[in-house]
Every structure is written in C-alpha cells, then in structure tokens.
C-alpha cells in the first residue's frame, strides 16, 4: 500500500497528543481518544479546545490503523534521527574548528570526514580538557592521529618568562 506523504506528518508527536507512550496498544489508543475527546470537545465550556480536539482525532486515526501507524513510526524515526544528526553535526564542526583555532590542534581528514569518528574525537577531547591536564589532551590527540601544536591549554597559567 502506497501512503500519500500528506496523510502522516512526522513533525507532530501523535503519541504525545494522546498522552501515550510509543508502545501503546490499539486499545490504549482508543481509550485515550475517548477520554481526551470528551475533555477537549469544543462544546465543553471550561476545557473545550477545538485545535486540540482535532489533533486527538487525527492522532487516533493514524495510531489505530496498523499500516498508517507503521508508516508514521518510520517517518518519525527518520525525521528525529535527521534532526539529531544535523544538530550534532553542527556542534562537532564548531568544536573541531575551535580545537584548531584555540588549542592549535592539527586534525586529520578522517576526523573531519567521518561523522562517527568526529563525534568520538570531540567528546573525548572535551572530557580531556575538563580535567585540565595537558597529557590527557595529548593522549586523545595521539589516539586519533591529531597533533597539538601548542603545548599549553587555554586554562593553564602562562609560565613566567
């Protein structure tokens, strides 16, 4: 079955709309729809919310249908994974750039080009920097084939001249 993309929106958390975890059963989905539909029905004077009511109905429509739910789960996973990798990628790039400029670390192409290696290098380097010990940073650099050209960490005191 080919599902048109406009039927399922991966940017919306339909599970949260029904106040359910992703492993909820169809029975849980039906029960949540019933309770929340009553709560948010537009005719309710105190709790009525037309937009929320529509969202609950849409979430029920998708999560109660096994085919639509599976399609939604796959699209949602791809969407969230893409955002996470994109955000993390920006952080990794900025960190690598900062390591080069501030700590004068010569970083090999493998660290720049391979996302997973870059993430590991950035994590381990930040952990080493937190210790404040130059040897820790040098050990991480050596492990990844990077070289620290300036032997002084930014937070170390400048030796007397």
Please report, for residues 106, 120, 158, the alpha-carbon distance to residue 133 in angstroms, rounded to integers and kept in the order given. Answer: 19, 19, 14
Say how far apart CA 83 and CA 42 lie, in whole Å. Answer: 34
Is the C-alpha dihedral spanning 59, 60, 64, 65 positive or negative?
A: negative
> Where are the chain's structural domains?
5-64, 88-148
Mean pLDDT for each consecutive 10-residue tract of the chain (161 residues)? 61 88 93 94 89 93 91 80 64 78 79 77 83 82 76 46 39
pTM for the full predicted model: 0.51
Q: Which residues are CB-neighbours of 49 under 8 A, at least 6 positions away?
A: 40, 42
Residue 29, φ and ψ in degrees, nearest 5: -60, -45
Dump pLDDT digits (tens) for 128-140.
888 877 788 888 8
In a 13 Å sphere around the CA of 153, the CA atoms on its Cβ side amount to 15
What fold characterizes domain 5-64?
Answer: Helix Hairpins (1.10.287)
Q: How many CA atoms does the CB half-sphere of 127 hold within 13 Å?
A: 9
């Amino acid at each position: 079955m080919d599902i048109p993309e406009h039927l399922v929106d991966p940017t919306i958390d339909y599970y949260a709309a029904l106040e359910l975890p992703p492993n909820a059963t169809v029975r849980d989905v039906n029960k949540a729809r019933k309770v929340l539909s009553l709560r948010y029905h537009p005719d309710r004077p105190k709790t009525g919310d037309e937009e929320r009511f529509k969202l609950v109905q849409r979430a029920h429509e998708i999560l109660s249908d096994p085919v639509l739910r599976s399609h939604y789960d796959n699209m949602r996973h791809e969407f969230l994974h893409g955002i996470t990798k994109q955000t993390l990628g920006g952080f990794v790039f900025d960190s690598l750039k900062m390591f080069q400029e501030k700590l004068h670390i010569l970083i090999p192409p493998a660290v720049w080009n391979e996302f997973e290696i870059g993430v590991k290098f950035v994590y381990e380097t930040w952990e080493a920097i937190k210790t404040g010990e130059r040897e820790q940073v040098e050990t991480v650099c050596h492990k990844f084939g990077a070289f620290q050209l300036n032997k002084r960490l930014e937070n170390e005191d400048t030796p007397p001249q």
